[in-house]
Amino acid sequence: MQVLVTGGLGYIGSHTSVLLLEKGYDVVIVDDLSNSNEKVLKNIFKITNKTPAFEKIDLKERESVSKLFKNYNFDGIIHFAAHKSVNESILYPKKYFQNNIGSLENIIDEIKLLKNPINFIFSSSCTVYGQADSMPINETFKLKKAESPYGQSKRKCEEILESVIESGHCFKNITLRYFNPVGAHPTSIIGELPTGVPENLVPYITQTAIGKRDFLTVFGNDYNTKDGTCIRDYIHIMDLAEVHISCLEKLTDVNDDNYFKVYNVGSGKGTSVLELISLFENVNQLKLNYKIGKRRNGDVIVAYADSTKIKDELNWSTKYSLENALETAWKWELNLKTNEQRNQN
């Protein structure tokens, strides 16, 4: 089975590609390298002993997407490729709409030309729920106005997919709303590779612990939560990668040509920022330099998932702990440093 993985050199894409290759799928990675590094391909090989096909393509370019679909015969598509910085999206909203929505539209245009219905998995985000009225969040919750152009772009993509399928174009879709992916591959050969200053909590923590950043700022401790800091649902990247395999298997099995499902993917457990810091310190036996700062604009206070639907319908469940995620995130950061030092010598 040939699977197109767009954004396959990124954080979630690379971990998913490794699992796909290990399961015997024929993987074609498309990435424009705007927020990733071609070296990840070598690292995927180091883990799997297999080299996926790689095409450096900007999916906003209609012609390149047409050529891609002419050159391959995909049975499945996992569409990760998207810009994902909330802050950048506020500064450059057009960039986010053009890229995140434009890329999906180009792929859909090609899917419409295919003879057989294709299996399609779309990466969405819990950001589409905004601040939900109660916890845990399930898929029936009303979607709120997105806090950022990034969030709006994800919501728009979901709407586009639903309306294309409703209008009777044959393709089978699962949309996944990820909560907060953390951790790294157990080998420490691949992990999260933020460009510039990280916006997300765990890479900021590991970069502070290793000395790349002076201190971590906790964005507010005066929220109405158990310790005053925001609560999130952190899910191990390996568990998240595994979900995509379960989805592909499900899509292959179903006969409904216009199959459409939306699933939350989270651990179901809410963890505060201070709890996460403390767990990171305990698991890795170190002290983190952090300060309490002001609230971050646009932060929701609490978000954690009810993942019952995906557990029941796809028979998927988490296997890895948050402790393991924080341990592997730290080992990955240490490994990056060793490699940087080796390259300098």
Please say if 204 is a catalytic residue.
no
Whichever of 24 and 196 has its CB closer to ligand UD1, that residue is 196
Among 12, 20, 81, 86, binds ligand UD1 (CB under 6 A): 86
User: Per rule CB under 6 A, is residue 238 in the interface with ligand UD1?
Assistant: no
Phi-psi label, residue 9: left if phi above 0, alpha if psi -120 to 50, beta otherwise: alpha
Structure tokens at 59: 């999916």
Question: Around Cβ 39, how many Cβ atoms within 10 Å?
Answer: 12
Restricting to residues 268-287, which ones interact with ligand UD1 according to CB under 6 A? 273
> How far is residue 81's CA from residue 99's CA, in Å, rounded to a whole number?
9
Question: Around Cβ 287, how many Cβ atoms within 10 Å?
Answer: 9
CA distances from 311 to 74, 155, 263, 340 (A): 27, 23, 10, 40
User: In 3D, which of 102, 23, 111 has the Cα closest to residue 61?
Assistant: 102
> How far is residue 67's CA from residue 85's CA, in Å, rounded to a whole number?
29
User: Per rule CB under 6 A, is residue 251 in the interface with ligand UD1?
Assistant: no
User: Per rule CB under 6 A, is residue 296 in the interface with ligand UD1?
Assistant: yes
Among 232, 236, 250, 261, binds ligand UD1 (CB under 6 A): 232
User: Per rule CB under 6 A, is residue 93 in the interface with ligand UD1?
Assistant: no
Whichever of 172 and 177 has its CB closer to ligand UD1, that residue is 177
Catalytic site residue from 150, 178, 223, 320: 150
User: Per rule CB under 6 A, is residue 193 in the interface with ligand UD1?
Assistant: no
User: Per rule CB under 6 A, is residue 88 in the interface with ligand UD1?
Assistant: no
Whichever of 228 and 298 has its CB closer to ligand UD1, that residue is 298
Site string for ligand UD1, 304-333 (x = CB under 6 A): ------------------------------
Taking a C-beta distance cutoff of 8 angstroms, is the pair 124, 177 a contact? yes
> How far is residue 320's CA from residue 309's CA, in Å, rounded to a whole number?
19
User: Per rule CB under 6 A, is residue 122 in the interface with ligand UD1?
Assistant: no
User: Per rule CB under 6 A, is residue 127 in the interface with ligand UD1?
Assistant: yes
Taking a C-beta distance cutoff of 8 angstroms, is the pair 286, 209 a contact? yes
Whichever of 68 and 190 has its CB closer to ligand UD1, that residue is 190
User: Within a 13 Å sphere around the CA of 5, how many CA atoms are in the beta-carbon half?
Assistant: 28
User: In 3D, which of 107, 83, 79 has the Cα closest to residue 95?
Assistant: 83
User: Please, what is the end-to-end C-alpha distance for the chain in angstroms?
Assistant: 43
Q: Contact region for ligand UD1 (CB under 6 A) — 45-53, 60-68, 215-223, 311-319?
A: 215-223
Give every CB contact of residue 170 below 8 A, 6+ residues apart in sequence: 116, 117, 257, 258
User: Per rule CB under 6 A, is residue 40 in the interface with ligand UD1?
Assistant: no
Task: Count the site residues for ligand UD1 by CB under 6 A.
Answer: 21
Q: What is the smallest separation between the CB atom of 265 and ligand UD1, expressed in angstroms?
A: 12
Taking a C-beta distance cutoff of 8 angstroms, is the pair 242, 310 a contact? no
Among 200, 207, 221, 225, binds ligand UD1 (CB under 6 A): 200
Q: Contact region for ligand UD1 (CB under 6 A) — 42-50, 93-101, 197-205, 319-327?
A: 197-205
Q: Indicate which residues carry an active-site annotation.
A: 150
Per CB under 6 A, residues contacting ligand UD1 are 84, 86, 125, 127, 150-151, 180, 199-201, 204, 216-219, 230, 232, 273, 296, 298-299
